[in-house]
Structure 1
């Protein structure tokens, strides 16, 4: 029996970027913890396939389309989500882009910088705002923002992404003070270099750096991050807000 099968029983959770990788793993874990889940992604065909795969595991997971770069798409996503779930208790802001890797600051284009900030920072802000009325109405709303450990150690040649994830950490702290009176918690999870499709481009030397410098010297898998997300969404974390939890096998110990 899954020990977490009732941890989120009856909760309604939206996971952005749920078509694959970390978001897919989060949706599976959240569904296995008893929640009803909507996964949203710009990869429309893949997100529908992901939902079907999770439904085949007898999980209550449905899919909607989302392009965080388009404010109208954000509004349509939350409208569709509320139509499917009837309300919202949790939001996992997982979707992001990572297309600034491998280039030093002088080689980084303005267009790339703007795209990363538009999706990762503005998109997270817009999605959070769109969900706030429903999260307030739930009486126990919880937001989990996916940051990264890269701003905690200053990863080089990844400036736009590092800056965007540093902004997520700062936004989490500020919003915690704004949303506390609404009984909404908001925390950030900062994974290390996880073995997913989105990190396939990362040079082998960077993978070796993480592996060799971790206290736990093995590859980091999406499932290694899911427990922290479940905890932050659950009643076990109701008096924790504004915090950033590194989940990286001991690569960074702030």
Structure 2
């Protein structure tokens, strides 16, 4: 069974005039989120620590006629996060949307017994603290927009408790909880905050995942096929759009029915 091409489904004007920052967008899901937003009419800043890949991605998107800018930043560094948010708002003339996609998974394959404290701390620093600080740094621009949207990337591993991935699972569970708190605090500013929890998706970041884990997902999904970036990007675009202005504090599990939340 082939995956649906979301680019052919999402209207080209769904995000017309909207200005969006996508972190962790040099490749994989983040790049697909940016590509989808651009195709839907948004102006986009892609941000990542992978400088060479980021610049190459931006050049390719610009060659296709898209209004895109690249900003190199480090999500483990609070000053770098602040500078990224400010630069993105300057480049786009404001911000209407933020996709918090930047994350690391370095604890993969280690049991909770073998996991080291410094690695746990690193994962939490990037995935949890970084998501909070980036949202905080973007708030002035999102408030000024009057129609701000924040989409936090979680993971369905936090819903079923994937083994040998505890630091990552803990961090994504924290992102889910944090999303609800953010939504409560920012609702009066007309800012929506939602989380998307993809299943195991075929991207560069999941190349290390053992084949048996891929098989587990594919065989136990209601829709029994591999998951590709297009499967997730349409949902993120919806949450950035005016179609979802009364949706906030929600978690959307996008995994073909592996976990039904």
TM-score surpassing 0.5?
yes
Q: TM-score, normalised by structure 1?
A: 0.98
2:74 and 2:33 map into 1 onto residues whose CA distance is 19
- The structure 1 residue matched to 2:63, chosen from 56, 77, 86, is 56
Q: Residues 129-148 of structure 1 correspond to what in structure 2 (within 5 A)?
A: 129-148=136-155
Does the 8 Å CA contact 2:154/2:197 hold for their aligned counterparts? yes
Is 2:101 the partner of 1:110? no
Match of 1:149 among 139, 145, 156: 156
Q: Is the 8 A contact 1:2 1:32 kept in 2?
A: no
Cross-structure match for 1:166 = 173
Contact 1:87 1:138 in 2 (8 A): yes
Contact 1:189/1:229 (<8 A) preserved? yes
Q: Secondary structure of the equivalent of 2:11?
A: coil
Report deviation, 1:59: 1.2
State whether residues 87 and 134 of structure 1, in contact with CA within 8 Å, keep that contact through their aligned partners in structure 2: yes
1:154-233 matches, within 5 Å, as 154-233=161-240
Q: Specify the SS of the correspondent of 2:113.
A: helix
Cα deviation per residue 1:4-51 (whole Å; 9 max; x = unaligned)?
200000000000001000000000000000000000000011111101
- Structure 2, unaligned runs of 5 or more: 1-7
Task: Give the Cα–Cα distance (whole angstroms) in 1 for the partners of residues 244 and 156 of structure 2.
Answer: 21
- TM-superposition CA deviations, 1:56-102 (whole Å, max 9, x none): 12111110011000011001101211221110000000000011111
Residue 86 of structure 2 aligns to a residue whose secondary structure is helix
Q: How does 1:28-43 map to 2 (within 5 A)?
A: 28-43=35-50
Q: Which runs of 4+ in 1 moved over 4 A?
A: none
Q: Does 1:22 align with 2:47?
A: no
